[in-house]
Amino acid sequence: MFQPQGFEQRSITTSLGKIAYYTATGSPWQEDAIANREKETLVFLHGFGGGSSAYEWSKVYPAFAAEYRVLAPDLIGWGRSEHPIRNYQIEDYLTTIREFFEQTCIGPVTAIASSLTAAFTIRVAIAYPHLFKSLILTTPAGLSDFGEDYSRSFFAQVIKVPIIDRLLYSTGVATANGIRSFLEQRQFAQPNRIYDEIVEAYLQSAQQPNAEYAALSFVRGDLCFDLSLYIQQLTTPTAIIWGQKSEFTGPEVGRRLAQKNPQAIRVFQQLEDVGLTPQLELPAVTIGLIRQFLPLLN
């Protein structure tokens, strides 16, 4: 996979298998391992979709490596992490996200997470608030919010048909054209912001052995839930960034979610002409917002 300069791949073992993660260990970021352990930790968690991985945040997290201890995992079933052959469920990610924080972090840390994973992170923070200092989230949505059930959509129903699901994955997702089409139509507001490295990084992740199991669980809607039923329980200080042209869930949903808990959700920032992943589409803007939010929340 693609690793920024000065970062190396490490791993931990969770109850579902190995999670690979990336952290700064070399020049120009880190010369003293002891000093690195004393830095405040930022954990960057990628969202879901064909070929998702920690690459999603790779244009953002190096900007924080000189000041923070940075961790960016490939979640179970994605990227270089293990790909258990199973139909993934919500509890699988709630458990393995918690286990990652417990094994890699000492004391509460800031989690920076995207889309459905950001929604999972909210639930983990509700259940285990001692793990988190603050949350900075891009488009946190359960994809069935306020009673909208994604799993009943036509595409989700098609993917539930055996054989067809794997055929669609191999021909429509795990190809360069399939990846580029998905990014253009579903993830980016402006297709001219997509370049070859992004497509290749997603393709490498999508073509890992057994990568289809996590991806198809996501597309079927097995991992979706109504975040509005949980968000009022959140106590961790939180900032939300929402792309105005987010294909799956528009900013009006984000505002409704934020309004349910203004005590915890202290910032809601809409970005114009941006899609689901501002961290890839406008990384410099995303870096600037994270830098602005960290002192406000902490």
CATH number of the domain to which 36 belongs = 3.40.50.1820
| Residue 1 within a domain | no
In this prediction, residues 246-253 reach a mean pLDDT of: 89
| Residue 2 within a domain | no
Angle of helix 115-127 relative to helix 90-104, nearest 10 degrees, comes to: 70
- Give the residue from 171, 166, 172, 174 showing the smallest Cα distance to 203: 174
Please report the pLDDT score of residue 2 as a whole number: 83
Q: How far is CA 241 from CA 110, 115, 118, 179, in A?
A: 15, 10, 11, 24
pLDDT tens digits, one per residue of 78-112: 999 999 999 999 999 999 999 999 999 999 999 99
Please report the pLDDT score of residue 26 as a whole number: 86
| Residue 66 within a domain | yes
pLDDT tens digits, one per residue of 155-168: 555 556 565 666 67
Please report the pLDDT score of residue 27 as a whole number: 87
Q: Which domain holds residue 16?
A: 7-297
Instruction: Tell me which residue has tokens 């989230």.
Output: 137
Number of domains making up the chain: 1
Report the share of the chain in percent with pLDDT over 90.
81
Instruction: Say if residue 34's pLDDT is above 60.
Output: no
pLDDT tens digits, one per residue of 110-156: 999 999 999 999 999 999 999 999 999 999 999 999 988 766 665 55
